[in-house]
Each structure stands twice: as structure tokens, then as C-alpha cells.
Amino acid sequence: DTAVSQTPKYLVTQMGNDKSIKCEQNLGHDTMYWYKQDSKKFLKIMFSYNNKELIINETVPNRFSPKSPDKAHLNLHINSLELGDSAVYFCASSQDAGGHDTQYFGPGTRLTVL
């Protein structure tokens, strides 16, 4: 069973479009995250949610809107896609927001904006 899953794995789209990436975890974790990995492999947090509540919003443009329908899901919706949004987006989860728990990552979604 996959612990943290993301769909789609690859996403190719035109500038200006709106797209969503879905994330689900079956670990029973309370906290979920979105990270962005740029073309230089640098990973940076975008958002974290704890029990469906937004905790961290790391100065991400408001074209990015995370949505957590329940604590097992954290989706990322991106409006008006720009070339600079091309990256790999990773979802992750951990047991506790402020504890000493490992974050487990999904397989990543490679977004290419043309």
C-alpha cells in the first residue's frame, strides 16, 4: 500500500491554465505539507495543514490554493499557470505538527508549463 500518493505524476499544460494536484495519505497522519523542488533540485516548503487547518503559508503567490477536504487529503490548485511554476511538487505527511516525527514524501508531480 502506498503511504503518500499523488496524482498526476506528470502534468504538462499551457501558460494561463488552471490545474490541480491531488495528494492522499493513508498513514493516519495529522499534518500534511506541500514542497516545491525547482530545476536546481532545491526543495522548499509551500504550505502545511494540520487537521484540515492551514498552519504554514510560506509566501507563496495566491495563485496557489491548497485545499484539505479531510486530514487524509491535501490538494493543490494552481490558477493562471506561469512558466516559473514548472517544478516538481511533493506532498508529505507527518504524525504531529509540533512533535518529533518524520515527514514521509509522496512520489512527486512533475509540472511543466509551456
Q: Which of residues 63-102 bind other proteins (CB under 8 A)?
A: 88, 90, 92, 94, 97-100, 102
Nearer to other proteins, 15 or 106 (CB): 106
Nearest CA among 78, 29, 31 for reference residue 55: 31
Nearer to other proteins, 55 or 72 (CB): 55
Q: Are 47 and 58 in contact (CB under 8 A)?
A: yes
Of 19, 24, 25, 48, the one binding other proteins by CB under 8 A: 48
Decide: is 1 part of the binding site for other proteins (CB under 8 A). no
Q: Could you give the C-alpha distances from 36 to 1, 45, 66, in angstroms and in order?
A: 25, 6, 13
Question: Can you list the alpha helix ranges (DSSP code H) found in the chain?
Answer: none
Name the minimum Å distance from CB 28 to other proteins. 17
Decide: is 3 part of the binding site for other proteins (CB under 8 A). no
d(CA 39, CA 52): 30
Of 13, 55, 64, 65, the one binding other proteins by CB under 8 A: 55
